[in-house]
Every structure is written in C-alpha cells, then in structure tokens.
C-alpha cells in the first residue's frame, strides 16, 4: 500500500471559524436517540476494512448514533453484512461527479455529522455538497477550508521527509475519535479487530462457487479436528508488480500445501491477474504431476478463482472459511483479518507499519508478517529502500515455516464479525 493514501497524523480536531454544531430537532425529521453520522469510506479494499474499527468506535461510544457508510460500487459488497454499519449507501465510483451525486441524494437523511476518510480534495468537496453541518477529516490536498473540523497529518522528524509512519487503522480511528469528541463523547478506547460479515446471499453464492471448484463440504467448512483437509487461499498478485513474490515460489508453495498438508489450494486474483494465476497454477500442477499417483474425487485440488467471476462479496465469504491465506501486501489480507483467518503476509518493498493490524480478541497471533529486510533500522522506512527491501529476498523456507505455524494456530472459533466459521482444521501433516 502506497503511503500517500493514508498518511497519518493526529491532533485535536480544529473547528473552522463559524462552524455549526448541527441539531437533530429539524422540521420533518423523526426524533431519534442520537446523531446520524455519514462516513465516506476509503477507495481501496484494504483501507475499507481497516476503517471498520473506526465505524465501531462511532457506533459504540456516541450515544444512540446511527452510523451510515458511503462506499464506492464494488467495495460496498465488502461492508454488506457488517455489524458496524447501520445503513450502507453506494456511489457509482470514486470520481467527483459520482460522489457528489450520492452526497446530494443523501441530503434527505439530514445527517448531523460526516467523517471524510479519503484524503482527496474532491472527496471533501463532494461532502460539502451534502449540507451536513459537521464535516471532519484530515487537512490534506489543500482541502481544509471545505471541512468544519480538521486534523493536521503528522510529519516525520527531520532530517527525514514525508508523512509520519502511522498505521491506516490508527489514522482512521483517530479521525473517528476526534469526531466523537466534537459530538460530545471523549474516549480513550483503542482500536479493536477488523470486522466483516457475510450476508445470506453471499454465503449462498460462496457455497455454489466452492461446489463448482470441486471443494467438498468438509473442505469448505475448514475440515475438522484430527481429519486433515480444508483449503488455503493463495493470492500471488498486487497492484504494484514490485510487491509480488515470484510466481514460481507461489507455485512451489501451492504444490507443497497440497502434497504435504492435504490442503486444496484456491488461487485468487483480480480479473487482470488471471494470467499470473494461471502461470502459478500451471507450474504447481507440473510439480504435482505423477507425485501422488491416481487422484480420487476427494483429493486436494488446485483451483483458479479469477475465471469463476467472483465479486468481492463472494471472495470475502470464501476467504472467511479458509484454513489459511498466503498473500502479498494487498487487500485479501484484510478480508482474512476481518474473520480471524490465519494468514502469512509477504512485505516488500513496502513498510508493514503503514498497515499494522490490531490483534484478535482471544490473544492468539493469527498473522505471520514476513519482511524482506527484517534488520532494517526502525528509524528507516522500507519504502525508501526498494532494493534492500525487495520482496524476492523472502525465502520459500521462511514462508513454509510460517504456514505451518499459522495452521497450528487455526482460525478464530465461532462467530467473528457476524459470520459463523466452520470448525478449526487439524494440524498439518509434516512435509516428507
């Protein structure tokens, strides 16, 4: 994730001169217990999920608050079924015209306050058209005058330049905390875990996708204790090619998880990454050919997901049932985190501190973050050292060891984010 999307800061929200406080007692508006708040969500998959603790903060700490989210089309599927959103609204895209159209249409809700999480000038301008009396966000991109209250983003200490190194979770959470303060609630609560949910329709479509993929009922539920089975999701793509671990290593890992751990492997990717996924699948099948003799109907499988036409909502529901996710530093990592799914995340050349995630409530560590350069001094940012921190430096051995460790931990039990998970999978078989 490029730092420029969510650079950090924190300071008390500064009101613009003449900013109003808003009122819920307006003509034609039904009385309600607390304020109605509109949150304009980020435009990236990972950032959308990393904003869920901020949504929960507003819903839990501001008495009687209704928390509405405005998401762009496609990303709305990520938030459907969420336990932290009162109502979800959709803009056709993140372009100014589409956001402005959505904000104008939302005037009828008579929101008391708005939180603008994207950093762009156009997002603040679109929200200004909503007529919402309290509009809070970071003073980025010259947009401070469009906000009634703003936070100043932090900067790195000299001689370093750029934005302060703060996790996107905290970046969004501090903005929500500031808005809660403006609405009269001061809180010192810290961010909780990422939270997602699955709708009944998303679950039905995920069931169908797994059946088409040849993943059996036991695998689809994560397998059972002492039974083996289950499936892993591997995500070899990323928007930035420099963040992609080599395809041949993903193929080697897929073959290893299938052959030695008894896991089916679902290879995930955006539609534009279908060729990359096919390359990984082809290499892995070549490694497995003839290795296990005749394969029965219940044998572990290699499945290419891009060709199945799954949207983000269905992919979310599939990942929610996985025994393991292995991914580059990209959006599926956050989908897995939203359901407590164990994951191995490969970082290079981006710095993992931009996207540090809160731990799970049960105290179990379900993320193994593998850094291309673990010895980089804390005063340095990996993004500034693309060669030293190139992702190819992550060895296959480290990834396989991390997979085995995460499989032993297992997914979060029971419900997480409003969606039931299957049983925890058995510990993997040792490689032979």
Average pLDDT over residues 263-275: 96
CA 85 to chain centre: 16
pLDDT on residue 158: 77
Highest mean pLDDT among 8-22, 127-141, 147-161: 127-141
Lowest-confidence segment of 1-5, 90-94, 98-102, 381-385 by average pLDDT: 1-5
Average pLDDT over residues 66-92: 97
pLDDT on residue 10: 38
Beta partners for residue 87, in sequence order = 68
Average pLDDT over residues 153-180: 91
Q: In this structure, are 174 and 204 located in the same domain?
A: no
Q: In this structure, are 97 and 67 located in the same domain?
A: yes
Residue 26 reports pLDDT greater than 90: no
219 belongs to a structural domain: yes
pLDDT on residue 292: 52
pLDDT on residue 13: 58
8 belongs to a structural domain: yes
Residue 427 reports pLDDT greater than 70: no
Q: In this structure, are 225 and 177 located in the same domain?
A: no
Confidence at 276, pLDDT banded by 50, 70, 90: very high
Confidence at 2, pLDDT banded by 50, 70, 90: very low
385 vs 8: which has the higher pLDDT: 385
Highest mean pLDDT among 26-35, 48-57, 218-227: 48-57
- Strand (E) positions, 186-334? 231-235, 264-267, 302-304, 324-328
Residue span of the structural domain in which 130 resides? 3-182
Give me the residue label for tokens 């009162």: 86
Residue 22 reports pLDDT greater than 70: no
Instruction: Beginning with the edge strand found earlier in the chain, give each strand of the sheet holding 324-328 in spatial order.
Output: 302-304, 264-267, 231-235, 324-328, 343-347, 367-371
Confidence at 151, pLDDT banded by 50, 70, 90: very high
pLDDT on residue 1: 37
Give me the residue label for tokens 């303060």: 181
191 belongs to a structural domain: no
Q: In this structure, are 384 and 250 located in the same domain?
A: yes
CA dihedral (168, 169, 172, 174) in degrees, to 10, reads -120
pLDDT in tens, 194-253: 999 999 999 999 999 999 998 865 566 654 333 446 999 999 999 999 999 999 999 999
pLDDT on residue 222: 58
pLDDT in tens, 278-317: 999 999 999 998 665 445 545 678 999 999 999 999 999 9
Q: In this structure, are 171 and 211 located in the same domain?
A: no
Q: How far apart are CA 165 and CA 218, in angstroms?
A: 43
Q: In this structure, are 237 and 380 located in the same domain?
A: yes
Average pLDDT over residues 131-145: 97
148 belongs to a structural domain: yes
Q: In this structure, are 125 and 204 located in the same domain?
A: no
The answer to whether the beta carbons of residues 100 and 74 sit under 8 Å apart is no
Give how many domains the chain has, as a whole number. Answer: 2
Q: In this structure, are 103 and 208 located in the same domain?
A: no
CATH number at residue 265: 3.40.50.2000
Among 379, 355, 378, residue whose Cα is nearest residue 5: 355
pLDDT on residue 103: 98
Confidence at 66, pLDDT banded by 50, 70, 90: very high
pLDDT on residue 163: 85
428 vs 313: which has the higher pLDDT: 313
Contacts of 110 (CB under 8 A, 6+ apart): 26, 29, 36
* Mean pLDDT computed over every residue of the chain: 87
414 belongs to a structural domain: yes
Q: In this structure, are 242 and 177 located in the same domain?
A: no
428 belongs to a structural domain: no
The answer to whether the beta carbons of residues 185 and 40 sit under 8 Å apart is no
The answer to whether the beta carbons of residues 340 and 422 sit under 8 Å apart is no
pLDDT on residue 219: 62
CA 310 to chain centre: 17
Q: What are phi and psi of 221, to 5 degrees?
A: -95, 5
pLDDT on residue 294: 42
* SS3 sequence of 53-96: HHHHHHHHHCCCCEEEEEEECCCHHHHCCCCCCCEEEEECCCCH
Q: In this structure, are 51 and 125 located in the same domain?
A: yes
10 belongs to a structural domain: yes
Confidence at 388, pLDDT banded by 50, 70, 90: very high
Residue-level length of the chain: 432
Q: In this structure, are 339 and 392 located in the same domain?
A: yes
Q: In this structure, are 129 and 209 located in the same domain?
A: no
107 belongs to a structural domain: yes
Domain end residue (candidates: 149, 182, 215): 182
Q: Is 365 exposed, middle or buried (0-12, 13-18, 19+ CB in 10 A)?
A: exposed
Lowest-confidence segment of 16-25, 43-52, 203-212, 383-392 by average pLDDT: 16-25
């Amino acid at each position: 994730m490029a730092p420029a999307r969510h650079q950090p800061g924190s300071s008390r929200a500064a009101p613009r001169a003449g900013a109003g406080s808003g009122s819920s007692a307006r003509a034609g508006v039904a009385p309600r217990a607390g304020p109605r708040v509109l949150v304009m969500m980020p435009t990236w998959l990972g950032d959308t999920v990393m904003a869920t603790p901020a949504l929960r903060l507003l819903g839990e700490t501001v008495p009687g608050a209704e928390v509405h989210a405005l998401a762009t089309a496609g990303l709305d599927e990520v938030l459907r079924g969420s336990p932290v959103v009162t109502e979800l609204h959709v803009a056709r895209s993140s372009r100014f015209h589409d956001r402005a159209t959505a904000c104008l249409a939302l005037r009828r809700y008579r929101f008391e306050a708005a939180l603008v999480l994207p950093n762009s000038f156009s997002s603040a301008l679109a929200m200004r058209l909503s007529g919402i009396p309290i509009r809070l966000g970071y003073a980025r991109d010259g947009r401070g005058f469009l906000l009634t209250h703003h936070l100043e983003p932090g900067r790195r200490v000299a001689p370093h330049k750029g934005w302060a190194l703060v996790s996107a979770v905290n970046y969004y959470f501090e903005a929500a905390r500031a808005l809660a303060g403006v609405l009269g609630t001061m809180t010192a609560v810290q961010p909780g875990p990422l939270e997602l949910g699955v709708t009944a329709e998303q679950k039905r479509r995920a069931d169908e996708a797994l059946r088409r993929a040849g993943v059996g009922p036991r695998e689809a539920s994560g397998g059972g204790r002492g039974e083996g089975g289950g499936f892993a999701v591997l995500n070899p793509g990323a928007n930035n090619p420099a963040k992609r671990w080599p395809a041949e290593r993903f193929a080697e890992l897929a073959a290893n998880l299938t052959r030695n751990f008894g896991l089916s492997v679902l290879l995930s990717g955006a539609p534009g990454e279908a060729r990359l996924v096919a390359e990984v699948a082809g290499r892995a099948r070549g490694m497995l050919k003839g290795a296990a003799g005749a394969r029965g109907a219940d044998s572990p499988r290699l499945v290419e997901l891009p060709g199945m036409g799954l949207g983000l909502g269905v992919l979310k529901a599939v990942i929610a049932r996985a025994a393991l996710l292995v991914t580059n530093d990209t959006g599926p990592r956050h989908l897995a985190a939203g359901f407590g799914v164990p994951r191995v995340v490969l970082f290079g050349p981006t710095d993992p501190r931009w996207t540090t995630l809160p731990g799970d409530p049960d105290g179990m560590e379900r993320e193994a973050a593998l850094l291309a350069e673990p010895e980089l001094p804390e005063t340095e940012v990996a993004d500034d050292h693309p060669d030293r921190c190139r992702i190819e430096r992550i060895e296959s051995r480290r990834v396989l060891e991390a997979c085995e460790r995460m499989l032993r931990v297992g997914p979060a039990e029971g419900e997480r984010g409003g969606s039931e998970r299957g049983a925890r999978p058995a510990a993997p078989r040792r490689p032979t």
